[in-house]
Every structure is written in C-alpha cells, then in structure tokens.
Amino acid sequence: MTLGWIQEALASAPVQHALVAGSEIAFLSGLVGAFVILRGQSFAGHVLTDVGTTGGAGAYLVGLNGWFGFLSFGVIASVGMELAGGRTRGERDLATGVVLSLALGFGALFLYLDAQLAHANASMAVLFGSLFTLDPALVPWISSLAAVCAAAMLLIWRPLALASVNPELARVRGVPVRAMSIAFMVVLAVAVETDALVAGSLLATALIVGPAAAAARFVSNPLRAGVAAGVLGAAIVVASVLLSYDSYNWLPQHTSWPVSFFVAALAFLAYVVPAAARRFGVRRMAEVTEA
C-alpha cells in the first residue's frame, strides 16, 4: 500500500486550510470539553449549536460567511443564557429551552429561505459543515481566535474550576464567579460555533463532548484531561480530513464522504474502544486470577 495520496492531499490548498483551522479549533474544543464535564453544562453546548444553526442560515441569507452568523448568534446566546438564567440549574434549563425553540423556529425559516432564494447548498453547509470550502481569508482569523481562547482557558482554569465546585468559597476568595461563567460561555460559544464549520451544526458538539469524555476516563485532573482531549480532538480532525479526501475513490461514483461523518465516527470510537478494551482487560485479569 502506498501513502502517496497523503502527500498529494497535503499539497492541496483546501486540505491545508482544513487541517490548520480544523485541528486548532478541535484542540480548543477538547480543552473546553473537560470543563463542560466539570461544570455539567453539556446542555448549554447543545443549545449553542442549535442557536448557531439559525445564525449560520441567516448569514447565508444576507450574503455573509456562515461563520460570522454562527459566531455572533452563539456569543449573544451564551451571554444571554448566563444573564437571563434563574438561580438553579433547572430554572436555567427551562428558560433556555423556551428561547431555544424560538431560535430553532427562525432557523427553520432561514434554511427554507436559503434553499429557495439564496444558495441551494447553504443548508447543506450549515447542517453538515464546510471545511473544504473554507474561505482562505478566514483561516488566520480562526487560528488567532482559537489561540486567544485557549490561552484564556489556560489562564483562568483554576478560578474557573473553583467557581464550578464551590462558588461560595470562590467568591470569599475574591473570584468574580459571574464573570468567570460568562467568560467560559463565550469561549464555549467560539469553540462550538467554529466546530460547526468543521462538522456542521448538527454535529458541532461531537468535538466538545467526545474527546473530553474519552480523555476524562483516563486523566483525572481537569486541565490535563482538557489538554489530552484537545490533542485527541485535533488528531480526530486530521484523520477525518485525510479520510474524507481519500474517500473520493471509495465508491465508483467518485464522491467525497463528508468530514463530519468521520469526526463523529472517530469520536465515538475514541470513547468506546478504550472502555471495551478495559472491560476485556479486566475479564482477562479475572481469568488469570482464577487460574
């Protein structure tokens, strides 16, 4: 078997852009994902993808790049959820659910209008991702935004962790707990909404939840789990981009399989395979002890 196709893939500009932007945002997503688990906020991640759908579809409608729509709606929604939410998690989820259905209603309208009036392909791009058709001008923006957000996470991870497990003690020690929550939600929004470019808004949380859940099984410190999840996520995106490129030759009709499928499949494998291996390993050890 020859690996010449990988060299060929790496020589292509869209593949290069996809690899750079995709792996950077995947690293941020894994890092953020560990704190989503610590804070029990995976519901918020799902909300942001749904609201992002509306923003992305709306952006195509007015002729903007989808990323700006995803990002602006996601950031507004994340701050709004923090500010408007009730005191308990239940109240917050309820308030979020109501706003969410309104946003999704508009999302449905925008996707329909996209298909009728603007871009026939817009709804495919919004829902399933558009990594290979990424505007090259966006790559530096995505890179620097991901870098700034990752740096911010590394800077605030301790106060954020303290505010997550014991908000009163955090406030006694002078941590601005509210500001921490808002900052985290904005970083989460950046990660989720940029993931929507990679894996589509339907699967944007795959890169947040999957690698972090896999890493959290083996690494028990939030920061180390986050970094491990980030590296895993980046590896998943690199593999997905290359597989998607190669899949052009898999069927006689010659059509590339979407990156989002590979991302979801690999994230699932990363979560399931180690667990299965561990269970198998435990059983084998049990047999050894019996023998």
* List of residues contacting another protein (CB under 8 A): 34, 37-38, 40, 154-156, 158-159, 161-162, 165-175, 213, 215-217, 219-225
For another protein, which is the closer residue by CB, 63 or 174? Answer: 174
For another protein, which is the closer residue by CB, 22 or 159? Answer: 159
Question: How deeply is 40 buried, as exposed, middle or buried, from its count of CB atoms within 10 A (0-12, 13-18, 19+)?
Answer: exposed
Query: Least Å distance between CB 159 and another protein?
Result: 6
For another protein, which is the closer residue by CB, 105 or 176? Answer: 176
Q: State the Cα–Cα distance between residues 283 and 177, nearest whole angstrom.
A: 45
Query: Least Å distance between CB 180 and another protein?
Result: 11
For another protein, which is the closer residue by CB, 58 or 159? Answer: 159
Query: Least Å distance between CB 10 and another protein?
Result: 34
Query: Least Å distance between CB 222 and another protein?
Result: 5
Residue pair 150/27 in contact (Cβ under 8 Å)? The answer is yes
For another protein, which is the closer residue by CB, 58 or 222? Answer: 222
Q: State the Cα–Cα distance between residues 30 and 208, nearest whole angstrom.
A: 5
Query: Least Å distance between CB 194 and another protein?
Result: 24
Query: Least Å distance between CB 260 and another protein?
Result: 25
Residue pair 50/73 in contact (Cβ under 8 Å)? The answer is no
Query: Least Å distance between CB 265 and another protein?
Result: 22
For another protein, which is the closer residue by CB, 163 or 189? Answer: 163
For another protein, which is the closer residue by CB, 166 or 247? Answer: 166
Residue pair 150/28 in contact (Cβ under 8 Å)? The answer is yes
